[in-house]
A and B are shown apart, each in its own frame.
Chain A
Amino acid sequence: MFNDLDPILHSQLRLSIVSILMTVDEANFNFIKETTKAAAGNVSIQIKKLQDAGYIKVVKTFKNNYPNTTVSITSKGIKAFEDYVSNLKKYINPKK
């Protein structure tokens, strides 16, 4: 139906994650989970998909002996997001 829309981004949770990362330099896993109000497993799966597409960079470290996953958007991800928004606008207002 929406052919030009990037299928990686055209999913509620993945789009939310990328929108968060467009707003900040980097965010940790818990911040993303709390902001999207999604289940940890689901967030984890979607982060993996975005990472595989090269849209985000994931760094896993330890903080106070607990795993700490930090996520940031890549230049490929920024370009994909900008194209996605541009295509959305075309669908909403095709005359422009």
Chain B
Amino acid sequence: MEENLTPEESLLLITKTIEETKERFKENGHILVFWGTLMLIVFGSQFILSLLELYKFTIYPVYLFPGVGGVYMIYIWIKEKKKNKPKTIIGNILGSMGWIIGMNLLIMGFFFWSQLGVAMAPVFLILLALMAMVVGLSIKFRPFTIGGALVNLIGFGSFLLDRDYHGFSVMLGAVVGLIIPGMLLNKARRKENV
């Protein structure tokens, strides 16, 4: 390992090592696709229950967020801890932001839904948009930035909609801001690994 490197070899080694390192901690869209799908299931179930006029049961799907979502995040956290993933500024920011916004959404949804009233879904969507846009800008992945901007518009648009349509707004937000960009990110990462 102590062999004499030429300047060209040194530069090549630096470039190769940096690229390999970045490759090993690239973010993928699995977690965001998971949360988007969970949102779709929760709000879709609420809509179906409303159609069936089973109004008193519409609260139950919401418990999937802490139940399924919480368990999945703990599983991911344990899995990631076992890996030798290095710490990066962007990784730390995205991880912390995900937890903070996620916890705020849950607290809002469970404890302040009556105070928020008709503003609940729009505020939920605006916070979701903020997260999607920051992810997109941080990892330089345009579908998340565009998806986030669209969710932001859906969020503001929801203020103008009747409360009955808010479930649709959130489902649309989940598809546009999380599921589609997340799947595109996974596809892009798979392509890079070929």
Least distance between A15 CB and chain B CB atoms (Å):
6
Interface flags for B1-22 (1: CB within 8 Å of A; 0: not) read: 1111101101101100110111
**Contacting residues of chain A (1-56) with chain B, CB-CB under 8 angstroms:** 1-2, 5, 10-13, 15-16, 19-20, 22-28, 30-31, 34-36, 38, 42, 46
Q: Roughly how many angstroms separate A23 CA and B191 CA in the complex, as a whole number?
A: 23
User: Which of the residues A19, A36, A46, A92 comes within 8 Å of B7, measured between beta carbons?
Assistant: A92
Contact B86 A28, beta carbon cutoff 8 Å: yes
Which residues of A are found within 8 Å of B20, using beta-carbon distances? Answer: 35
Given contact pairs A12-B3, A20-B17, A30 touches B84 in the complex (Cβ within 8 A): yes
How many contacts A-B (CB < 8 Å)? 80
CB of B92 closer than 8 Å to a CB of A: yes
Q: Chain B at the A interface: mostly helix, strand, loop or mixed?
A: helix
Contact A25 B87, beta carbon cutoff 8 Å: yes
Least distance between B81 CB and chain A CB atoms (Å):
8
Contact B22 A16, beta carbon cutoff 8 Å: no
Q: Which residue of A lies closest to B19 (CB)?
A: A23
Q: Roughly how many angstroms separate A87 CA and B1 CA in the complex, as a whole number?
A: 21
Contact A16 B13, beta carbon cutoff 8 Å: yes
Contact B88 A15, beta carbon cutoff 8 Å: no
CB of B79 closer than 8 Å to a CB of A: no
CB of B24 closer than 8 Å to a CB of A: yes
Given contact pairs A12-B13, A31-B86, A19 touches B21 in the complex (Cβ within 8 A): yes
CB of B56 closer than 8 Å to a CB of A: no
User: Which of the residues B1, B4, B14, B17 comes within 8 Å of A85, measured between beta carbons?
Assistant: B14
Residues of A at under 8 Å CB distance from B?
Answer: 1-2, 5, 10-13, 15-16, 19-20, 22-28, 30-31, 34-36, 38, 42, 46, 84-85, 88-89, 91-92
Q: Other than the known A16-B13, A26-B86, what 8 A-B pairs have Cβ atoms closer than 8 Å?
A: A10-B4, A15-B17, A19-B18, A25-B92, A34-B84, A42-B1, A85-B14, A89-B11
